[in-house]
């Protein structure tokens, strides 16, 4: 344990001064670990305004989960755009495009490609639609896109096409409340 030098106040003489001790190193390590976990970064998704949109992902040094086991774009059922994620019934939404990496190396953040809606990147395979390209995105409809929400919740988003541009819209409860 580390010790501070003796600290005396005006009410005591040097023989009766108290020694104050610093926090034990184990407690300091626990505080540092809590701070590190509290500042944990998440993999996030970004989208261009182009139609079809281009999706990219960002992750930092301290991002815990850096894999994207699939990428999906779904059309929201009418009315679901007003309901926060995890509260809307996903069975009513329609999967437009669903791709998977051909091997686990392709799913690692550092190896992720940009995803342009409807264009299967090298090293990925398309599950939906089984053949051909997905339907065009339609002005005024709402969509969700990203990786598995359970694994990478901040790498999932909602968007719409407005005035010929892809525009991000609220998805999580706290975004609706802003």
Q: Does 68 score more than 70 pLDDT?
A: yes
- Mean pLDDT score of the chain: 78
User: Does residue 23 have a pLDDT over 80?
Assistant: no
Give whole-number Cα distances, 8 to 1, 15, 17, 21, 23, in Å.
21, 9, 5, 14, 20
**For the chain, what are the domain ranges?**
1-39, 40-176
The answer to whether 54 touches 145, Cβ cutoff 8 Å, is no
End-to-end CA distance of the chain: 47
pTM: 0.72
- pLDDT one-digit tens code per residue, 122-167: 999 999 999 999 999 999 999 999 987 766 666 789 999 999 999 9
Report the relative pairing of strands 54-58 and 71-75 from DSSP bridges. unpaired
- Higher per-residue pLDDT: 74 or 13: 74
Banded pLDDT at 19 (limits 50, 70, 90):
very low
Percent of the chain with pLDDT over 90: 40
């Amino acid at each position: 344990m580390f010790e501070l030098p003796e600290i005396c106040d005006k009410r005591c003489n040097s023989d009766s001064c108290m020694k104050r001790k610093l926090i034990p190193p184990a407690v300091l390590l626990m505080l540092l670990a809590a701070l590190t976990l509290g500042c944990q970064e998440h993999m996030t998704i970004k989208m261009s305004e182009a139609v079809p949109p281009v999706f990219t992902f960002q992750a930092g040094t301290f991002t815990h989960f850096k894999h994207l086991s699939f990428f999906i774009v779904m059309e929201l059922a009418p009315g679901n755009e007003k309901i926060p994620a995890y509260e809307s019934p996903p069975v009513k939404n329609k999967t437009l495009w669903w791709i998977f990496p051909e091997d686990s190396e392709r799913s690692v953040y550092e190896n992720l490609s940009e995803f342009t809606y409807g264009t299967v990147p090298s090293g990925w395979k398309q599950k939906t639609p089984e053949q051909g390209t997905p339907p065009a995105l339609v002005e005024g409809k709402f969509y969700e896109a990203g990786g598995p929400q359970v694994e990478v919740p901040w790498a999932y988003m909602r968007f719409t096409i407005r005035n010929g541009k892809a525009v991000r819209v609220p998805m999580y409860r706290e975004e609706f409340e802003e």
